[in-house]
Structure 1
Amino acid sequence: MGADPDTGGASGARRVSRVILLDPADRILLLHGHEPADPTVTWWFTPGGGLEGDENHEQAALRELAEETGVTDVRLGPVLWRRRCSFPFDGRRWDQDEWYYLARTTQTATALAALTELEVRSVDGLRWWTSAELSAAHETVYPDRLAELLQRLLDEGPPRTPIVLAPEIV
């Protein structure tokens, strides 16, 4: 999520780093969010947010992960996927260029550690998911096809170069 729009990316899109965080059992950590004005509109999403100041994508990924999950003991890996997305949230449209990093951790204790004001109003939890649980979920999860992408990652390992996912326009 991240609080302040950064329009330094391609075509004015907000530059975002997201993290596919896996624990030793290959479970993925996802946050549960909702529209601030309507808590019945919910979804699960990967930790991450916009780049701040002059930080690079890797620095943003680690900072956002620590702020949103309390997880700081991580090994950041390669960029797995890239995605352009555009969606309404909190009364405005967000246009984003997202980079998804693989990360591994042995730290499974989590905390909504240092959320922004917007995140406090829109994030209500987090949990570790197995690939099977994610595949069976009937809830909205972002990015689209995350269960399939995660299973492919677990089966084949990281791609040699980042995979460009289909744009998601909501």
Structure 2
Amino acid sequence: MTPPRAALPAPRGDSRPRIRRRAMRVLLVDGADRLLLFKDSDPGILPLPTFWITPGGGVDPGESDLQAAVREIAEETGLVVAEGDLLGPLAERVVVHGYSDVVTTQDEQFWFVRCEGFEVSTAGHTEDELATMTAHHWWTRAELEETAEDIWPRDLLRVWDQVGPGDSHTGPPLELGDVEESTVAVALSSR
């Protein structure tokens, strides 16, 4: 993957609201070894910055990590899977996402699901997701290696590499550390 675009500098006296949450991200890979990503955007900036993300999102109160991953897959793609279909966690990280209107810090885990190809349904998307997620695409590894598009996580191929032959994974999750992926940078003093 090519280097990411630079984020806009953090606003002086950065007063964007801060959110902290736990989140599950899922690598959905079909039988043709293509990975599903959504094209997301930050509509508070023009020209509109875009980036590609895996399905997933926040863990709701009272929900387990696996329950959240299963729910997020169904809501964002229309695919219904069972908790036992999830392989992982493949990787973990703490990521700061600075957007034009908010700074979100997420304690993330990445999971893997092998599925048959299917028609993606966005019927379960929230109003915000409908406004910001502009497309989806099933990516081959070669496409990901060659694209100039911004992909989050930026080390997605390292995460995917945690899946072994026969869709296996052993050992602890890959530790990706603390990273920032932003459209509007976060001032170091405000993290």
With structure 1 as the length reference, what TM-score do the two structures score? 0.84
Is 2:41 aligned against 1:25? no
Given the alignment of the two structures, is residue 161 of structure 1 paired with residue 172 of structure 2, yes or no? yes
| 2:68 is equivalent to residue 60 of structure 1 | yes
SS in 1 for 2:177: coil
2:77 is matched with which residue? 69
Give SS of 1:120's match: helix
Q: Which runs of 5+ in 1 are unaligned?
A: 1-6, 8-12
The answer on 1:142 being equivalent to 2:152 is yes
Distance in 2 between the 1:134 and 1:152 partners?
A: 16
Q: Is the 8 A contact 1:71 1:107 kept in 2?
A: no
Structure 1: 4+ residue segments shifted above 6 A = none
SS of 1:119's equivalent in the other structure is helix
Worse-superposed segment, 117-126 or 55-64: 117-126
Higher relative contact order (CA 8 A, sep 6+): 2
Check conservation: 1:131, 1:151, Cα contact below 8 A. no
**Percent identity, aligned pairs only?**
33
2:175 partner amino acid: V
Output the CA distance in 1 between the equivalents of 2:51 and 2:28.
Answer: 18
Q: Indicate which of 35, 40, 43 corresponds to 2:42.
A: 35
Query: Which of the pair is proportionally richer in helix?
Result: 1
> How far, CA to CA, are the matches of 1:134 and 1:159 in structure 2?
25
Corresponding residue for residue 45 of structure 1: 53
Q: 1:90, CA displacement in angstroms?
A: 4.7
Q: Which amino acid in structure 1 is aligned with residue 58 of structure 2?
A: G
Structure 2 CA distance for aligned equivalents of residues 90 and 112 of structure 1: 24
TM-score by length of 2: 0.76
Cα displacement (A) at 1:158: 2.6
State the distance in 2 between where 1:33 and 1:20 align: 16
1:106 matched to which residue of 2? 116
Asked whether the equivalents of residues 58 and 68 of structure 2 are also in contact (C-alpha less than 8 Å), the reply is yes
Taking the aligned partners of 1:167 and 1:128, their CA distance within structure 2 comes to 28
CA RMSD of aligned residues (A): 2.2
* DSSP 3-state at the match of 1:149: helix
- Which whole-Å CA distance do the structure 2 matches of 1:102 and 1:114 have between them? 21
Q: Which stretches in structure 2 are left out of the alignment for 5+ residues?
A: 1-18, 183-191
- Please identify the structure whose Cα radius of gyration is greater: 2
